[in-house]
Amino acid sequence: MSSNGTNGNGNGVHGNGNGNGKRSLPQAGADPVANLPSIDGFPASEKVYVERDGLRVPVRRIHLEGGEPPFEVYDTSGPQGVDPHLGLPKLRKPWIDERAAAEPVGNRSQMHYARRGIVTPEMKFVAIRENVTGEFVRDEIARGRAILPANINHPESEPMIIGRNFLVKINANIGNSAVTSTIGEEVDKLRWAVKWGADTVMDLSTGKLIHETREWIVRNSPVPIGTVPIYQCLEKANGDPEKLNIDMFIETLIEQAEQGVDYFTIHAGVRLAYIPYTANRMTGIVSRGGSIMAKWCLSHHKENFLYTEFERICEVMKKYDVAFSLGDGLRPGSTADANDRAQLAELETLGELTDIAWKHDVQTMIEGPGHVGMHKIKENMDLQLKICKEAPFYTLGPLVTDIAPGYDHITSAIGAAMIGWFGTAMLCYVTPKEHLGLPDRDDVKAGVIAYKIAAHAADLAKGHPGAQDRDNALSKARFEFRWQDQFHLSLDPDTAKDFHDETLPAPAAKGAHFCSMCGPKFCSMKITEEVREMARQQTAATADVEAGLAAKAAEFRDGGHKIYAGGDDPH
């Protein structure tokens, strides 16, 4: 593995190119990104590129002290220093163009290529990121156990993979609402989310300027973008679910696919017959998309058109290589409703739709709940694997209790860690604002960090190769009182350092063998260090005694076994 550095602070190259001329993003009025806050790189870090097979795959290299070798971590932040008006460089454009030249029309999905035995550059890129072979990546995609979301119109994305035999991924939701937020704030949240480690981002905008907001997000995103197209479709129907129809929906899919959205949440499993199952629930239907489709079904008393016209939808998906995220419109919104008849009936339908999508070589993952007590999580995961034939599971949390509004990044990260351990491939974050309001920048960070913890905990529990290495590096730094290294190896170095410095801000404290938690006399790690030193000394002393005795024994033997030196044995 070879790599070469760029700049010195994790901010990567300072380029401006989008690889496709100087086209600026559309703006009707004032510049929407005029006042974007700058985003600093990670301390003691630099973005470097692993170069192999003609590809350059980014990693973040963390420099350590005390003669320790540098440590490299997976990097989702994308090229830095790029003018957001121009968008990111179009990394995948040559690969997409080459395939289009060879085959101008037809199925463009990574699954289609995988099933024909082709290892695409995207698959090779992922193989380097995940430290596996390209053939392994191809095989997992071909059998439907992993997806590589990569719309042909989102060439700015750096390929990544979602599947349970790879690192557990996390998604961050952004997007405006009818009540609040602007394009600039959403672009800022995107850049902020990928800095902290979001592997994909969903734009859930339901407010003003949906199309323009999405354009700015897609052009500036190094990670796949997901959407829930029914939201924009509902706007087109003036907010009236009864006016929705398949033609309007297909038109919206094409509009978003043309922009470059990489995966669509589609609530095709909310069937008319299942809606009565929700009547006696504690919290009814809590999915926005699910409730919209339920209203359509009931008002027309017809089967869900997303279900009946699913093959038409597949035709759009494969043309652009948009992946399905089959929505769980009937997910439980409270622990009382977990794993109930409505949820599991919908899951059966999602399994049926997976087969249809795969028939078209369309990449597919399955969305999961929601609110599920810890004792019901394993059952949920096992059923999904069986019913959906191992298609990747993509779960919101789950929240393991309903009693902590304001802290649902924690209630859900507990469930996320468990379900990730059991086999979920991607965890959709929940922020502290869940159930309470639209997340802001700080909430995005809190949600991403909580989910990085859950995903990594799951990787550790699954025994993912290499997952333990970062824990070991940080633990070693902690035990050796290399405070800076402990901060720099952590998921959130800023907070770790700030907390330490609240009480011991002096530079000398970075060399101290204690912190303010226990103080110098009670620092257990310092005491352990002293215990070990004493043991070392005692061992050395014991060794000295033993060596002295051995020397004397040898002298005795060499001296002819005489007990009294200089004379004969009296007997």
- Chain residues binding ligand SF4 by CB under 6 A are 514-515, 517-518, 523-526
* DSSP letters for 523-542: -HHHHHHHHHHHHHHHHHHH
In angstroms, the CA 304 to CA 439 distance is: 31
CB 320, min distance to ligand SF4, A? 53
CB 489, min distance to ligand SF4, A? 15
HSE-up (13 A, CA, CB side) for residue 460: 13
Q: Between residues 92 and 500, which has the closer beta carbon with respect to ligand SF4?
A: 500
CB 511, min distance to ligand SF4, A? 13
CB 514, min distance to ligand SF4, A? 4
Contact, 198 vs 174, CB < 8 A? no
Main-chain dihedrals φ then ψ at residue 358, nearest 5 degrees = -65, -30
Q: Between residues 280 and 516, which has the closer beta carbon with respect to ligand SF4?
A: 516
End-to-end CA distance of the chain: 76
* Torsion sign over Cα 451, 393, 99, 249: negative
In angstroms, the CA 263 to CA 256 distance is: 10
DSSP structural state of residue 225: E
Q: Between residues 502 and 569, which has the closer beta carbon with respect to ligand SF4?
A: 502
CB 445, min distance to ligand SF4, A? 25
CA 121, distance to chain mean position in Å, is: 21
CB 486, min distance to ligand SF4, A? 9
Q: How far is CA 125 from CA 200, 394, 511, 529, in A?
A: 16, 22, 41, 44
In angstroms, the CA 415 to CA 421 distance is: 10
Q: Between residues 472 and 528, which has the closer beta carbon with respect to ligand SF4?
A: 528
CA 66, distance to chain mean position in Å, is: 31
The angle subtended at Cα 384 by Cα 381 and Cα 388, nearest 5°, is 155
Q: Between residues 180 and 524, which has the closer beta carbon with respect to ligand SF4?
A: 524
CB 478, min distance to ligand SF4, A? 7
Question: What burial class does residue 502 get, using C-beta atoms within 10 Å of its C-beta: 0-12 exposed, 13-18 middle, 19+ buried?
Answer: exposed
Q: Between residues 364 and 490, which has the closer beta carbon with respect to ligand SF4?
A: 490
Q: Between residues 101 and 508, which has the closer beta carbon with respect to ligand SF4?
A: 508
Q: Between residues 295 and 526, which has the closer beta carbon with respect to ligand SF4?
A: 526
Q: Between residues 204 and 527, which has the closer beta carbon with respect to ligand SF4?
A: 527
Q: How far is CA 6 from CA 14, 19, 49, in A?
A: 9, 19, 8
Q: Between residues 298 and 504, which has the closer beta carbon with respect to ligand SF4?
A: 504
Report the SS3 class of residue 324.
Answer: strand
Contact, 191 vs 174, CB < 8 A? no
Tokens of 5: 């550095």
CB 500, min distance to ligand SF4, A? 9
Other Cβ atoms less than 10 A from the Cβ of 60: the count is 19
Main-chain dihedrals φ then ψ at residue 407, nearest 5 degrees = -130, 25
Query: What is the H or E stretch that residue 392 is in?
Result: none
CB 12, min distance to ligand SF4, A? 34
CB 460, min distance to ligand SF4, A? 21
Q: How far is CA 142 from CA 121, 154, 214, 382, in A?
A: 15, 22, 30, 22
Q: Between residues 96 and 523, which has the closer beta carbon with respect to ligand SF4?
A: 523
CB 510, min distance to ligand SF4, A? 12
CB 479, min distance to ligand SF4, A? 9
The one-letter code for the residue type at 61 is R
CB 484, min distance to ligand SF4, A? 14
Q: Between residues 344 and 504, which has the closer beta carbon with respect to ligand SF4?
A: 504
The angle subtended at Cα 332 by Cα 330 and Cα 239, nearest 5°, is 50
Q: Which residue has the tokens 């790029």?
A: 82
Question: What burial class does residue 548 get, using C-beta atoms within 10 Å of its C-beta: 0-12 exposed, 13-18 middle, 19+ buried?
Answer: exposed
In angstroms, the CA 392 to CA 385 distance is: 8
Q: How far is CA 163 from CA 70, 140, 285, 503, in A?
A: 29, 8, 28, 43
CB 458, min distance to ligand SF4, A? 26
Q: Between residues 356 and 527, which has the closer beta carbon with respect to ligand SF4?
A: 527
Q: Between residues 405 and 511, which has the closer beta carbon with respect to ligand SF4?
A: 511
Q: Which residue has the tokens 């997992």?
A: 140
